[in-house]
Amino acid sequence: MKFTPTEAQFDCTALVSGPRDRRERALEDLAGAAVHVIHRVGFAVFRIGRLRLGVEESRRLSTALAERIRAALLARGAPAELRLEIDRPQQTYVPEGFSTRTLLPHHDGQHCSYLTPSLHDAPEWQPAWREFGSSGYTTTPAHKMYQGIFLPDVGEGLSVTTYYDWLGVIDDVLDRRGIDAGDDRPASAARWIGDNLRRGLERQPEHGCAYPSFGAMLGLVEPLWHGLSFHHGEAVLTKEERVRYPAAVPLARSCACGTCEGEAARLFCHQVLMATGLTWAQFRRRWEVCAPGEQCDLLFGHNLTLLHGGLAGGPGRVIEPLCLVVDTPAGPAYERWLAASWRRALPGAH
């Protein structure tokens, strides 16, 4: 089990000590340092909870920090349309019969927020393909470039956010399958992902899923792995899913690693094995980074280059999304930002 690296943990003491002008400068410095870590490591954890400010003051500070992160990104070449979206609070759903829940790896935004190629790497790509569906999603329709969550209540469980290096996973899968990535590896990987997404879009009338699954993005072709996109590990197959995908029923009874709890988790284990060559347990040991969240902490991640999930979240856990979004993921600035993100970088200052 791996935990948040030291470089991704940010002490926030300077934000509340000293004269006002010094605190404002500390906000800018912290945001500037964080955006580079977010692109290199994938995420950052701001230890606001350790300041013991109370929920309202911590929320105000988290919002101010999110605004400074936005400004720092704009100064380093992010699209001018980037805005802060403060979504409604979300209480943790725990499936019946369980005391906590497990969130499997996913991108926030479901139908529209996931990694796609930049036109710099795939000139034939069309920005319209960056939206997988127009219905059946639970968040706003905005494209979430960066996913932030403020934790006003950590609840009864462990309150651990899990992160997975999606760029690393893609690179590893290319190697395992012997796919030649050529001299420009990020560009080749981007084109490969783009081809997989286009096939998923073309086959949508067949599989009926409103957003791409983990396996579909990694090139699995079976309709089953396109049509079932898992979220809660403890969930059971619906009656409709059992009828539409009868092959999933026996697979849901046991998994390759033998340790997964819940039908969705066991099916996800099979999907991960087929897509990556690793069982879900092996995949977790290879890629999972655990970020325990203290009450009033702020977690911020790159929503496209990083997958995230949740471990042992209790029903009392509440998150407040503070996401940096665009309404239309297109245009020269977006394409430059996306190409740089594939390379764990920022496009640079204007």
Enumerate the H helices of the chain as residue ranges.
20-40, 55-75, 166-176, 185-202, 204-207, 214-217, 223-227, 239-244, 248-251, 263-276, 280-287, 332-342
Round to whole Å and give the CA distance between 176 and 347.
30
Q: Please give the mean pLDDT across all residues of the chain.
A: 94
Round to whole Å and give the CA distance between 68 and 145.
15
pLDDT tens by residue, 253-280: 999 899 999 999 999 999 999 999 999 9
Alpha-carbon separation of residue 346 from 31, 42, 66, 86, 145 (angstroms): 14, 12, 17, 24, 13
Nearest C-alpha neighbor of 198 from the set 168, 171, 226, 175: 226
pLDDT tens by residue, 89-116: 999 999 888 899 999 999 998 789 999 9
DSSP assigned state of 14: G
On the question of pLDDT at 350 being above 50, the answer is no
Does pTM top 0.75 for this prediction?
A: yes
- Following DSSP, what letter does each residue of 201-244 receive, concatenated? HHTHHHH--SS--HHHHTT---HHHHH----BTT----HHHHHH
Q: Cβ(323)–Cβ(147) under 8 Å?
A: yes
On the question of pLDDT at 154 being above 50, the answer is yes
